Copies of this chain bind each other. A is one copy, B any other.
Amino acid sequence: MIEHHFPVTVYYKDVDQMGIVYYTRYLEYFEMARTECLRSIGLSVTDLEGKGLYLPVSECSLRYHRGARFEDRLDVCSQIATVPRARLTIDYTVTDGAGQTLVTGRTIHAIVNKKGKPIRAPKILLDAIETHLTGEQI
């Protein structure tokens, strides 16, 4: 399992009139978290795109257990459990400072070229993920 932790602080921009984080904002947190998760295993999204490799979200799902509030400090844990074939799957768990789970979610990414046509997961992507999956298992 590749696992990466990303800290997020909740600001006014994130909070709705119920006083809790608006439901779309977690998908922004997920995007930030996975960008840094990929970077942590040597994959810069900018570099991947420069090489003609894009990872648009093809599916996502979220479960909202508890609401986060303004100035809360959250942790977004990203997990990659498998080497992608046609698609890359990433799971997320958002917890608050007390370790309570607030939101869980998943994004599934297509692997496409600049024109949006599906391509086989390239070696650079496979190698980075395989190396880090294997590394942990040893």
A26 CB, nearest partner CB in chain B, Å: 9
Decide if A58 touches B54 in the complex (CB within 8 Å).
Answer: no
Chain A residues with a Cβ closer than 8 Å to the other chain, count: 36
- Residue from the list B17, B25, B70 in contact with A19, Cβ < 8 A: B17
Q: Is the interface of A mostly helix, strand, loop or mixed?
A: mixed
CB <8 Å contact, B44 and A71? yes
* CB closest residue in chain B, given A39: B71
CB nearest to A20 among chain B residues: B56
Would you give the 0/1 interface string for A59-71, flagging 1 where the beta carbon is closer than 8 Å to chain B? Answer: 1111110010011
Binding site for B on A (CB under 8 A): 9, 11-13, 15-20, 22-25, 27-28, 31-32, 35, 44-46, 54, 56-64, 67, 70-71, 116
